[in-house]
Amino acid sequence: MFLNEEMRFKVRSECKSGNASEPSRWVETSFLPTGIPGTAAVGLKCVWHNLEYMDCSWRPGENASSDTNYTLFYWFDGLKNPEKCNNYSMDHRRCIFSLTFPKVTNTYPTISILVKDDSEDIRPTCASKNPTTLVRPATPRRLTLSKTNDEIYVEWSESDTFTENCLFYEVEYHNGDLDTAQIIQVENNYMTIPSVDPNSKYTFKVRANPKPECYSSKLFSDWSEEQSIGEKTDSTFYLVLIITIPLIVAVSTIILLVYLKRLKILILPPIPDPREILKRMFGEQNEDSQNCAKDDSMNAYDRLAKEEEINSLILTETPVCANPEKETP
């Protein structure tokens, strides 16, 4: 029964034999849940991890006080008394308890879960869960890769808690720098990828999911850790080549053009213009004649200046002995 909802009952009596008697009137009664409305735990979710333990979580009611500590009880057909969950976390908003059934069991009993507080002011929450809808496999472990010729062999560990052929797997892999990954579904814990590129790097990861014929759950496990095989070509090398090659070609072209221009000048020198030759010849002769005339005039002037200096010196000179006879007494 759902203890967190109002329930109504009615009953009447009727004679087993004889159609002459009429049934009695209905007697009605109702069952109201205890506690203040809005204090019950909400959003109850449970996951059965790897057929080993149940993980249930919930949120406090909007009218529940901050010091409310919810307690979880569970029961299913086969237990004499309801069991109390003792492993709480998240301020009594999550609890984990062990839950296992015999492996030979093909059907699982319904689990009844009750979340309540010791205070009568907190309204209880009751729910019934089909465990086959809550199954979530464990994450595949020990993912190994090997390459032979042009094939990649992928293998991973199986869960020991599931019966044979009750799980299928999704293998996701991508090649090198490709963003789009390919997903392949397999029923075994191994697979082979044929016709691979020997010069590319391949990355793989795996997750498990229960088969519909065994469980009604659609919950996948977490992805395994990624494993890679092969060598990835360094994109930096190609980027350097893309930048360097055009630069080398451009520099080589400029050097070649300059060299060819000089080589052309050496092999085919330019033909001089006769007019320029004549102009230079006559221009040089005129300059020489003018320079010669200037030089002659300068030389004549210099000679005249020298003669004047010499003549002035001669005119101012006086003889040492003018009349020797007058000096003797």
Instruction: Assess contact for 223 and 207: CB atoms under 8 A.
Output: yes
The pLDDT score that the predictor gives to residue 316 is 46
The pLDDT score that the predictor gives to residue 277 is 67
The pLDDT score that the predictor gives to residue 283 is 63
CA atoms of 249 and 232, how far apart (whole Å): 29
The pLDDT score that the predictor gives to residue 15 is 84
CATH superfamily of 7-135: Immunoglobulins (2.60.40.10)
Task: Read off the DSSP letter of residue 77.
Answer: B
Q: What's the N-to-C CA distance of the chain in angstroms?
A: 185
CA atoms of 14 and 18, how far apart (whole Å): 10
The pLDDT score that the predictor gives to residue 290 is 55
Tell me the chain's radius of gyration from C-alpha atoms: 57
The residue assigned the tokens 């009429």 is 22
- Residue 42, exposed/middle/buried by CB under 10 A (0-12, 13-18, 19+)? middle
Annotation: CATH topology of 140-229: Immunoglobulin-like (2.60.40)
The pLDDT score that the predictor gives to residue 317 is 46
pTM: 0.63
The pLDDT score that the predictor gives to residue 159 is 87
The ranges of the chain with pLDDT < 50 are: 301, 304-305, 308, 310-318, 320-329
The pLDDT score that the predictor gives to residue 328 is 39
